Amino acid sequence: MAEPMLSVENLHVSFQTKDKEVRAVRGVNFSLNKGETLAIVGESGSGKSVTAKSIMRLLPKHNTKVKEGRIIYEGRDLLTASIRDIQKIRGSDISMVFQDPMTSLNPTMKIGKQIIEGLKTYQSISKQEGKTKAAEMLKLVGIPNAEERLDAYPHQFSGGMRQRVGIAMALACNPNLLIADEPTTALDVTIQAQILELMTDMQKKTGTAIILITHDLGVVANMADRIAVMYAGEIIEIGRAEEIFYKPQHPYTLGLLQSMPKPHTSRTVPLIPIPGTPPDLAKLERGCPFAPRCPHTMKVCHYFNPEMQHASGGHSVSCWLQDKRTPKENLPAGVGVV
Amino acid sequence: MKLEMNNPKPILPNKNGRHNQPLIPTEVTDDLFVVSPMDDIRQEELDSPPVTFWREAMGRLMKNKGAVISLTVLVIITVMAIIGPYLNEYTYRQQNTAHTNLPPKVTGLGWLGFDGIDVHRVDQYEKRHITENFWFGTDEFGRDLWTRVWKGTQISLFIALVAALLDLFVGVLYGGVSAFCGGKVDNVMQRIIEILVGVPNLIVIILFILILEPGITSIILAMVITGWVGMARVVRGQMLQLKGQEFVLASRTLGAKGTSLIRKHLLPNVMGPIIVTLMFTIPTAIFFEAFLSFIGLGLQAPLASLGVLIEDGYKSMRFFTYKLIFPSIVISAIMISFNLLGDGLRDALDPKMRK
Amino acid sequence: MKRYILQRIGFMLLTLFLIATLTFFLMHFLPGTPFNNPEKLTEKQIKVLNAKYGLDDPVALQYLRYLGHLVTGDFGMSFQYEGRTVNSMITTRIGPSALIGFQAMVFGTIIGLALGIISALKHNSIYDYGSVTLAVLGMSIPSFVFAALLQYFVGVKLGWLPPALWEGYQNTILPSFALSVTVIATVARFIRTEMLEVLGHDYVITARSKGVAEPKVIVKHVLRNALIPVVTMLGPLAVSIMTGTLVIEKIFSVPGLGEQFTLSILVKDYSVIMGITILYSALFILIVFIVDLLYGFLDPRINFKRGAEA
């Protein structure tokens, strides 16, 4: 297999507050090939956004610190690259779409200007060329009357339209990788589908790879090639989309799937919520971070954090249930038996 | 701690609050693979009740060094304002021609300038054979400035406090009624406020003082006439925001009456911004009082407020700088402390900071 | 837009009319007229004076006459200075006030902006703490206390600048500086808060994610959005400068409007008090109006058609 385009290796990121250290990301590993879509799924606070932002080096400097790890993009470590190199990579190689289109666009700058702003940083283009390019991008993401709307301000657009603008902005320089941080969370359900469709569509046209970050497994079903499930700053399960959906191995993934409504579930099958709340990342104790909420805990779970283990092919899980010594009666249906 | 007390298991917390379990395994051994649900302690820790809003706010305030220092300074100044005038044998109005214009003198604090020596390098105490010490010196009538400064602080604080409380009362009433009635009533009441906001406060205050003749009551009244508007706006804004919220609707559908709705649900929720506004009203009132005194519309002698003392001190600052310095320090300390405390409270009570 | 402006102007005139009315009746019910001074003036003299200034007419008539003059911009005659109109007193006195007020505003805004911007960009650094401390001091220490100390230490003790009087340009420096302290503090605090807020906005991260260089992000995205609300501070700042002139002109013996106002208050020269009150209020109302218009012009989100709410 060829070298992956991007690989994140053993990434540790912490937030430093006055009296404590919040270990937001704790040893994350994954890689991404050209043109591939990886979804990172997890509850809020699971470290998925922080992981994404550290790839772009967009974390606030004053209170965050990358403690360990490497992020290799096309042979270069982004974590040690100079800020000037990062600025060159941002927008042109890797770009980002954000969660809330209401706040991610500058309210006092015209749409057209915002779209080509990134382009202008590494290409000298004339005003007219810029306008043409911006209008072209707007058309591409399905905004009617593109030329006229270049001079509009963000508040004159609806939420869904703004997210389209956000995508146009991110794709303006033909990036190799698009990181979409909860791109549909702030939108209406009907608009959500449109935006996802637009992204898949754009991917087909431009061949860009996508990292899709979401807390909603339902969103990724049709779109992701691979899925990584994050919990308390760790990836606890990663694999091909079918594997995650049909052969989940980690009790947390299982819980997520059971708590998710599916179109074909009958009404008699209740949705099962996961009890409890995620742990406080400032005071993690020993053991598996999911143990306090896990219905299948064993003694070992309280004392040792499990290592990542291959389940099959590219499917890996970090859970003690995968261990051969686990008593059979403690295994939920479909787990462990490979 | 409480949770552990209720727990019958013999688990003793160690100094770190962690549980001293003698059997922490160091290796993954086969015997660890037995089903073991969450133990009670950790489960309960998981479900520990959330900290109440006020306690949390208090905690945040106490972490703010500036606010804590300010609070301490204010407590000290308030205590001094109450007992200060009685710490020596002089009264704030007692004149003595033998003791006029004495520089400050405190035995043992000579190196700090409390040496009784005036601008001409003459030790006035020695020259006039005065044995007692005047800690802050005396004024041109021989009145003791220590007593007068603290008496003045007392009066200034009193004026500011009463004015702020009256502002609060009128503002809560006006803002509350305006928000609660809504509709036309609210509209008319807001137009009135808009006009009042359009008038520079200080000018109205000056005009009212001119009519009412300077005095403690008239100064307070004049300040309240314009001062309540800010409070009313804050209260109305808060109330309107809360009015539409679900818990209010819920208690309304349960048949709660208007008054109990305000008292039980709305008031506790608007308290934060009101307290913060109050904290900023007090220094404003102190400033206005001093300002009025300084332009000659303040209290009449022999009564003293900080403003009056500063005005007196200013007139003779060339030769008796101490007369200006002491009241200036006190008023500045009060203003700084209230501002810092207000900032601290705003940060501590800001619900947006609450997760 | 046009409708909004007309509506606002109507409201301004109404406010001004109410202020004029209020001032008139307050002044009228003041205990004693300036001529009730039996020690110096005989009863007959008082009568003559009252008749001369129309003070013996019915109140309603005096009020209408006053309003009539006001519409033509005539504030009437001074009671204190024989034969001088309030208008002429204002015109001779407004110059110095305007000069120190303007200097204080410009100097204060520039220094305040600089302090606030540095503070926000170097958040939680020693620069930040320093300028926050300065701002708290500037906002807390009453202007007249600061002015008095400034006059004493810089003017008298060090003798660097003339401590008082109005003889040349160097005389304007201390009063302008004393006035500017509140401006510096207010602007610095305000821009700091605004910038910190804008820095936390997603669109700043968006800009960075597009590869825009940091200085450009600060100027084009952060500063621009943070500076717009600063315009709203102009109203309160103008008021603080007007109030400031009342005491600071007294301290530095500046022959300005503020000094005249305090003098007139002490001698109860009603027509001058009324004239200056109305002038100050009018200025304040006008500034608030201009600020609102300017804000709408600078911020594309504000749409005047939607209503008079500003």
At B32, list the tokens: 């660890």
- List, in order of start, the domains of chain B with CATH numbers: 72-101+138-353 (1.10.3720.10)
Percent of chain A with pLDDT over 90: 6
CB contacts < 8 A, B to C, total 105
Residues B325, B330, B336, B339: what is their CA dihedral angle, to the nearest 10 degrees?
-140
Mean pLDDT, residues C223-242: 84
Could you report how far apart the first and last alpha carbons of chain A are, in Å? 25
Query: What is residue B139's predicted lDDT score, i.e. its pLDDT?
Result: 76
- Other C-beta atoms closer than 10 Å to the C-beta of C73 total 7
The helix/strand/coil state of A336 is coil
Evaluate whether residue A122 is within a structural domain: no
- Decide if pLDDT at C259 tops 80: yes
> How large is the average pLDDT for residues C284-296?
85
Q: Which residue from C203, C209, C300 is facing A56, i.e. has the nearest CB?
A: C209
Give A250-257 contacts, CB < 8 A, sequence gap 24+: A250/A290, A250/A317, A250/A318, A250/A319, A250/A321, A251/A290, A251/A294, A251/A295, A251/A296, A251/A319, A251/A321, A251/A332, A251/A335, A252/A290, A252/A293, A252/A294, A253/A229, A254/A332, A254/A335, A255/A293, A256/A41, A256/A217, A256/A229, A257/A217
Residue A149 lies inside a defined structural domain of this protein = no
Among the listed residues B245, B269, B262, the one whose alpha carbon sits nearest the alpha carbon of residue B354: B269
Q: What is the DSSP letter of C156?
A: I
* DSSP H or E stretch at residue C26: helix C2-28
**What is d(CA A243, CA B138) in angstroms, rounded to the nearest whole number?**
90
Comparing A253-257, B74-78, B297-301, which segment has the lowest mean pLDDT? Answer: B297-301
Mean pLDDT value across residues A200-215: 87
Buried b (16+ CB within 10 A) or exposed e, C140-158: bbbbbbbbbbbbbebbeee
The CA distance from B28 to A304, in Å, is 8
Beta strands A315-317 and A234-240 are antiparallel
Antiparallel, parallel or unpaired: β A315-317 and A309-312? antiparallel
Q: What is the mean pLDDT of chain C?
A: 82
Look up residue B248 and give its two tokens.
């209010």
Q: pTM here?
A: 0.79
Amino acid at B132: E
Residue-wise burial string across A264-296, b where 16 or more C-beta atoms lie within 10 A, e elsewhere? eeeeeeeeeebeeebbebeeeeebbbbbbbbeb
- Candidate from C26, C141, C281 with C-beta closest to B332: C141
What is the three-class DSSP state of A96?
strand
Q: What is the pLDDT of residue B19?
A: 46
Cα–Cα distance for residue pair A86/A55, rounded to 1 Å: 10
Does the pLDDT at position B9 exceed 50?
no
What DSSP line would sit under A194-240, residue for residue? HHHHHHHHHHHHH--EEEEEES-HHHHTTT-SEEEEEETTEEEEEEE
The dihedral sign for the CA sequence B339, B340, B343, B345:
negative
List the Cα angle C272/C277/C281 in 5-degree steps.
150
Mean pLDDT, chain B, rounded, equals 75
**Which segment, A52-66, A227-241, C238-252, is predicted with the most confidence on average?**
A227-241
Q: Are C278 and C267 in contact (CB under 8 A)?
A: no
Instruction: State yes or no: pLDDT of B16 exceeds 60.
Output: no
pLDDT tens profile C114-168:
999 998 888 888 888 888 888 888 888 888 888 888 888 877 777 777 777 777 7
**Interchain pair C142, B335: CB under 8 A:** yes
| Band (C241; pLDDT cuts 50, 70, 90) | confident
Q: Which residues of C touch B195 (CB under 8 A)?
A: 14-15, 18
Question: What was the pLDDT predicted at B354?
Answer: 37
| Band of pLDDT at residue C304, cut at 50, 70 and 90 | low
B184-194: pLDDT as tens digits: 888 888 888 87
Antiparallel, parallel or unpaired: β A226-231 and A234-240: antiparallel
- In this prediction, residues B67-76 reach a mean pLDDT of 89
Decide if A140 is inside a domain: no
Question: Rounded CA gap, B272 and B346, in Å?
Answer: 8
Q: What is the pLDDT of residue B41?
A: 42
- Verify whether the Cβ–Cβ distance B36 to A298 is below 8 Å: yes
Highest mean pLDDT among B208-212, B248-252, B285-289: B285-289
CA–CA dist C49, C34 (Å, integer):
10
State how far the Cα of B295 lies from the Cα of B311, in Å rounded to an integer.
8
B33 with A299: Cβ contact below 8 A: yes
Using an 8 Å CB-CB cutoff, list chain B residues near C148: 310, 313-314, 317, 324, 328
Element (H, E) at C70: helix C59-71
Given this model, what pLDDT does residue B166 score? 92
A96-110 pLDDT, tens digit per residue, is 888 887 788 888 888
Other C-beta atoms closer than 10 Å to the C-beta of C310 total 16
% of chain B residues with pLDDT over 70: 71
Q: Residue A39 has what pLDDT? A: 92
Summarised one tens digit per residue, pLDDT across range B103-116 is 777 666 666 666 76
| All domains of chain C in start order, with CATH | 93-254 (1.10.3720.10)
Q: CA-CA distance, C144 to C244, in Å (whole number)? A: 8
Look up residue B74 and give its amino acid.
L
Give chain B's largest Cα–Cα span: 98
CA distance linking residue A250 with residue A335, whole number of Å: 8
A258 at the B interface (CB within 8 A)?
A: no
Which has the higher per-residue pLDDT, C194 or B199?
A: C194
CA end-to-end span of chain C = 13
Asked whether the beta carbons of residue B324 and residue C152 sit closer than 8 angstroms, the reply is yes
What is residue B22's predicted lDDT score, i.e. its pLDDT? 46
- Specify if A282 maps to a domain: yes
Which range, B153-167, B203-217, C296-310, is most confident? B153-167
- A311 in a domain, yes or no? yes
Residue A320, domain member (yes or no)? yes
How many domains does chain A divide into?
A: 1
Cα dihedral C122, C125, C130, C135 sign: positive
Q: Range of A41's domain? A: 6-93+175-330
- Span B37-44, average pLDDT: 53
ipTM exceeding 0.85, yes/no: no
SS3 C264: helix
A155 touches chain C (CB under 8 A): yes
Q: Which residues are bridge partners to B115 per DSSP?
A: B105
Cβ distance B198 to C142 less than 8 Å, yes or no, reads no
Share above pLDDT 70 across residues of chain C, in percent, rounded to a whole number:
92
If you average pLDDT over residues C173-189, what whole number do you get?
Answer: 89
Asked if residue A264 has pLDDT above 70, the reply is no
Structure confidence at residue C39 (pLDDT): 60
The per-residue pLDDT for range A35-58, each reduced to its tens digit, is 899 999 988 888 888 898 899 888
In a domain, A72, yes or no: yes
Domain-embedded: residue A113 = no
Residue A211 pLDDT grade (very low, low, confident, very high; cuts 50, 70, 90): very high
The closest CB to that of C265, out of B210, B331, B339, belongs to B210
Residue A22 contacts residue A14 (beta carbons within 8 Å): yes
With cut-offs at 50, 70 and 90, classify the pLDDT of residue A227: very high
DSSP A272: -
Q: Is B352 on the interface with A (CB under 8 A)?
A: no
The region of weakest confidence among B238-242, C9-13, C276-280 is: B238-242
Six token digits for residue B161: 């406090």
> Domain with A228 in it: what CATH number?
3.40.50.300
Closest-CA distance of chain A to residue B42, Å = 7
Which residues in chain C are contacts of A153 at CB distance < 8 A?
300-301
Mean pLDDT to the nearest integer, A323-338:
74
Find which of B74, B190, B197, B207 to mutate to test the C interface (most C CBs within 10 Å of its CB): B207
* The pairing of beta strand A209-214 with beta strand A94-97: unpaired
pLDDT at A281 over 90: no
> Is pLDDT at B183 greater than 90 in this prediction?
no
- Residue C110 predicted with pLDDT over 90: yes
Residues 6+ apart with CB under 8 A from C136: B336, B339, B340, B343, C185
Instruction: State percent of chain C over pLDDT 90.
Output: 7
* Whole-angstrom distance, CA of residue A307 vs CA of residue A175: 34
**Nearest 5°: CA angle at C184, between C179 and C187?**
130
What does the H/E/C string look like for chain B?
Answer: CHHHHHCCCCCCECCCCCECCCCCCCCCCHHHCCECCCCHHHHHHHCCCCCCHHHHHHHHHHHCHHHHHHHHHHHHHHHHHHHHHHCCCCCCCCCCHHHCCCCCECCCCHHHCCECECCCCCEHHHHCCCCCCCCCCECCCCCEHHHHHHHHHHHHHHHHHHHHHHHHHHHHHHHHHHHHHCHHHHHHHHHHHHHHHCCCHHHHHHHHHHHHCCCHHHHHHHHHHHHHHHHHHHHHHHHHHHHCCHHHHHHHHCCCCHHHHHHHHHHHHHHHHHHHHHHHHHHHHHHHHHHHHHCCCCCCCCCCCHHHHHHHHHHCCCCCHHHHHHHHHHHHHHHHHHHHHHHHHHHHHCHHHCC
Average pLDDT over residues B298-313: 81
Partners of residue C212 in chain A, C-beta under 8 Å = 87, 91, 117-118, 121
User: What's the confidence (pLDDT) of residue B6?
Assistant: 39
What are the beta bridge partners of residue A13?
A25, A66
Closest by Cα among A171, A99, A165 to A138:
A165
